[in-house]
């Protein structure tokens, strides 16, 4: 695509050339730099969606904190869910540098006008689901996010560096849960396999629609936000998880999964995009529950925001008093 002209920044005629040159030279754009509106809009949409996914993603796993099979598992899961809250906060902060407030983004989420990843609209039915979320869902997230550490927008790229380090812990944590279950009793093995069967296809959908149908991909690629296409990332992910599934002794529920010598990649089956579209439209198994929980949590936290505002106002008043001779 061609990067669109933008005429709103009239103060200095040279800003657009500077911006394009920086993108071409693979330099980082910072909040102080002039940028085209479609660059800013694309980033706000993507970072907000990413932040929302981190905090909505806490729900399916939090479902198992009180029922984790041991104190150690409980402590690990608590720490992991807390990491996800932290990811949400870094990302909201990164988006705020583009001029959209966190309160605004949360309102858009609560009104259903900004999205979060559809994967979190599936339920966590057994303890093995916690393992599979770590292995496949955090695994897909890493595949997606490692290239974002080199994204053209500085604050987003820097947030991703720390997030990716934590995500790789999450993935190993999930793999280890499954490793133990897969070598446990026949019932535990079966539970692990059942969870893999339910999450495999939704995890492939996490990379978004096929390249030919992806609405925002072109702009993101042209601006150096996205470095690989949805289909390239999905292939990378499949190539990564096949040997890992073999190491676990678990089967991926895909009859067409086979090594393709010529391509040097695994071939895999056709994704049921009608399911993806249904979940995206709000008709997944947990869409309504997730948003209701999120809205309720936001309402329950109103007193904290109010107290923080009062505290900030008191402090500002005290500072002013101290400053007056
Ligand atoms: Fe995360
Ligand atoms: Fe994670």
Tell me how far apart the alpha carbons of residues 85 and 81 are, in angstroms, rounded to a whole number: 7
Higher pLDDT, 218 or 182: 182
pLDDT tens profile 235-279: 999 999 999 999 999 999 999 999 999 999 999 999 999 999 999
Tell me how far apart the alpha carbons of residues 174 and 84 are, in angstroms, rounded to a whole number: 14
In order of start, what are the domains of the chain with their CATH numbers? 16-284 (1.20.1260.10)
Residue with tokens 């380090």: 165
Percent of the chain past pLDDT 70, that is, above it, reads 96
Number of helices and strands in the chain (H, E)? 14, 2
Around Cβ 22, how many Cβ atoms within 10 Å?
Answer: 17
- CA 130 / ligand 1 centre spacing (Å): 14
11: pLDDT strictly greater than 70 = no
Angle at CA of residue 117, ends 134 and 138, nearest 5°: 15
Q: Which two tokens stand for residue 55?
A: 């905090």
- CA 80 / ligand 2 centre spacing (Å): 7
Q: Which two tokens stand for residue 202?
A: 């939704």
Tell me how far apart the alpha carbons of residues 40 and 246 are, in angstroms, rounded to a whole number: 43
- CA 274 / ligand 1 centre spacing (Å): 27
Distances (CA, A) of 125 to 23, 38, 130, 140, 149: 45, 41, 9, 20, 33
Percent of the chain past pLDDT 90, that is, above it, reads 90
- CA 231 / ligand 1 centre spacing (Å): 22
pLDDT tens profile 127-184: 999 999 999 999 999 999 999 999 999 999 999 999 999 999 999 999 999 999 999 9
Predicted pLDDT at 84:
97
- CA 6 / ligand 2 centre spacing (Å): 37
Tell me which ligand sits closest to the C-alpha of residue 167.
2
- CA 54 / ligand 1 centre spacing (Å): 5
Candidate from 102-111, 125-134, 207-216, 243-252 with smallest mean pLDDT: 207-216
Tell me which ligand sits closest to the C-alpha of residue 86.
1
Tell me which ligand sits closest to the C-alpha of residue 145.
1
Mean pLDDT of 17-42: 95
- CA 80 / ligand 1 centre spacing (Å): 9
Pairing mode, if any, of strands 258-260 and 265-267? Answer: antiparallel
Contact 110, 294 (CB under 8 A): yes
Tell me how far apart the alpha carbons of residues 213 and 302 are, in angstroms, rounded to a whole number: 40
Task: Decide: helix, strand or coil at residue 232.
Answer: helix
User: pLDDT band for position 2 (50/70/90)?
Assistant: very low
- CA 294 / ligand 1 centre spacing (Å): 17
Task: Decide: helix, strand or coil at residue 153.
Answer: strand
Predicted pLDDT at 324:
80
Of 277, 202, 192, 287, the residue nearest 237 (C-alpha): 202
Contact 253, 204 (CB under 8 A): no
Mean pLDDT of 307-323: 94
- CA 60 / ligand 1 centre spacing (Å): 13
13: pLDDT strictly greater than 90 = no
Contact 121, 279 (CB under 8 A): yes
Predicted pLDDT at 301:
96
- CA 87 / ligand 1 centre spacing (Å): 5
- CA 141 / ligand 1 centre spacing (Å): 8
Predicted pLDDT at 214:
77
Contact 211, 230 (CB under 8 A): yes
- CA 268 / ligand 2 centre spacing (Å): 25
């Amino acid at each position: 695509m061609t990067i669109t002209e933008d005429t709103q920044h009239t103060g200095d005629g040279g800003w657009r050339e500077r911006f394009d040159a920086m993108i071409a030279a693979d330099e980082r754009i910072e909040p102080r730099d002039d940028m085209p509106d479609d660059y800013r809009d694309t980033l706000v949409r993507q970072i907000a969606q990413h932040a929302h996914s981190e905090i909505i993603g806490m729900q399916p796993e939090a479902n198992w904190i009180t029922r984790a099979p041991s104190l150690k598992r409980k402590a690990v899961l608590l720490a992991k869910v807390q990491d996800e809250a932290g990811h949400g906060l870094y990302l909201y902060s990164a988006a705020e540098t583009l001029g959209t407030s966190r309160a605004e983004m949360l309102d858009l989420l609560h009104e259903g006008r900004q999205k979060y990843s559809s994967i979190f609209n599936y339920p966590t039915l057994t303890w093995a689901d916690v393992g599979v979320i770590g292995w496949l869902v955090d695994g897909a997230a890493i595949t997606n996010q490692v290239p974002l550490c080199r994204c053209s927008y500085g604050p987003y790229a820097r947030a991703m560096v720390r997030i990716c380090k934590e995500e790789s812990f999450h993935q190993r944590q999930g793999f280890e849960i499954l490793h133990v279950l897969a070598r446990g009793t026949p019932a535990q093995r079966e539970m692990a396999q059942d969870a893999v069967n339910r999450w495999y296809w939704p995890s492939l959908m996490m990379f978004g629609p096929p390249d030919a149908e992806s609405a925002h991909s072109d702009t993101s690629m042209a601006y150096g936000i996205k470095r690989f296409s949805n289909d390239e990332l999905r292939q990378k992910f499949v190539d990564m998880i096949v040997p890992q599934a073999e190491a676990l002794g678990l089967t991926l529920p895909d009859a067409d999964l086979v090594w393709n010598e010529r391509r040097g990649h695994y071939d895999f089956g056709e994704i049921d995009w009608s399911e993806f579209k249904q979940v995206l439209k709000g008709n997944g198994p947990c869409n309504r529950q997730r948003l209701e929980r999120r809205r309720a949590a936001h309402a329950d936290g109103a007193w904290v925001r109010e107290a923080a505002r009062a505290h900030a106002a008191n402090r500002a008043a005290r500072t002013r008093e101290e400053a007056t001779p």
